[in-house]
Amino acid sequence: MRRFARTQKVEEAIYAFNVMAKYDLVPNLAAFNGLLSALCKAKNVRNAQEIFELRDRLSPMSKLLVFCLTGGGERPIFPSVIFGEMVDVGCSPDVVTYKIMVNVLCKAGRIGEALEVVKEMDSSGCKATLFIYSVLVHTYGVENRIEDAVDTFFYMEIVGIEDDVVVYNALIGAFCSVKKIKNVYRVLKDMDCKGVKPNSKTLNIVLNSLIDEEYTNEAFRFFRKMVKVCQPDADTYTVMINVFCKRNELNTALKMWKYMGLKEFFPSMHTFSVLIDGLYEGSNTSKACMLLEDMIEKGIPPPL
């Protein structure tokens, strides 16, 4: 049954579940959970909802409902309904359930409802986690609600939750979204004072923001400074190769490409494309063709 569901053979999976009774095999909670979990993980949430409606045969379990919540990100009405039913049948939500609800609602742009969930957590004596605050800060940033993002960050500190690089990255991303680079540097300084080390994601968020504003010189200075305290990843090298190509510093871009290989970062199609385009624009067509051949030999299809 799980095998059918995981390969998205939905009809076969549901048939296997229903046919159990024909052979005097009573569908138990484990079978029910297994089918729902597999369907949700395969993003077959609509079918999971149909199966879920058969749950009255079985005793409700919070684990079962959490499976549905996890798979319902693309259809947030479904987990909201389940969450309400979960409370109605006497299943007390735990911090994991609340975390899933906040994440699902924020991804759907329904931050008002997510905040109601957080308030309910407080009233039930369940403390919101660092992850939940990070999701809220990130969502406010996406919506350009920078004051709300900052207030949420400070409130998190007031209630005694210790900062980490994830929530700082969310705050940095929020400032970048409204082009407040000076505030970004203040946040980085605050991280340093508190001993929170930036990571490659921190580096990439700021670099992309600087490049979007065409501050390529500042991006290069920032890169040189930050590589002393955090390890770049493949995306970082791609961003910097793009910077050097835009500055028509193709030799430096090629050195960065070579250094990327020495660090054992395998270039993606995007990395290849950035350098090939840069070389072509810089009239180095022979080197661009060599890279294109290398990309194809590595089994990476060129972009359409």
pLDDT band at 34 (very low <50, low <70, confident <90, very high): low
Residue 197 φ/ψ, nearest 5 degrees? -80, 135
Task: Report which of 22, 86, 77 is spatially closest to residue 55, judged by C-alpha positions.
Answer: 86
pLDDT at 33: 64
**Contact at 8 Å (CB) between 38 and 71?**
no
Residue with tokens 């009405």: 77
The percent helix, strand, coil of the chain (3-state, each to 5) is 70, 0, 30
In a 13 Å sphere around the CA of 250, the CA atoms on its Cβ side amount to: 14
Euclidean distance between CA atoms 67 and 49, whole angstroms? 11
Region of 142 please: left (phi>0), alpha (psi -120 to 50) or beta. Answer: alpha
**Contact at 8 Å (CB) between 243 and 216?**
yes
Q: Give the start-to-end residue ranges of the domains of the chain.
A: 1-71, 93-161+169-178, 199-204+214-304
CB neighbours of residue 252 within 10 Å: 16
Fold for domain 199-204+214-304?
1.25.40
pLDDT at 276: 93
Lowest mean pLDDT among 56-60, 171-175, 185-189: 56-60
Euclidean distance between CA atoms 202 and 194, whole angstroms? 16
What would the pLDDT profile of 36-82 be if each residue is shown by its tens digit?
766 766 666 677 666 666 655 554 444 445 555 555 545 555 566 66
pLDDT band at 169 (very low <50, low <70, confident <90, very high): very high
Instruction: Compute the chain's Rg from CA coordinates.
Output: 25
pLDDT at 74: 52
pLDDT at 64: 47
What would the pLDDT profile of 112-158 be if each residue is shown by its tens digit?
989 998 998 888 888 899 999 999 999 999 999 999 999 999 999 99
pTM of the model: 0.73
Give the pair of three-digit tokens for residue 62: 């919070």
pLDDT at 19: 78
Which amino acid type is present at position 103?
N
Q: What is the mean pLDDT of the chain?
A: 83
pLDDT at 28: 61
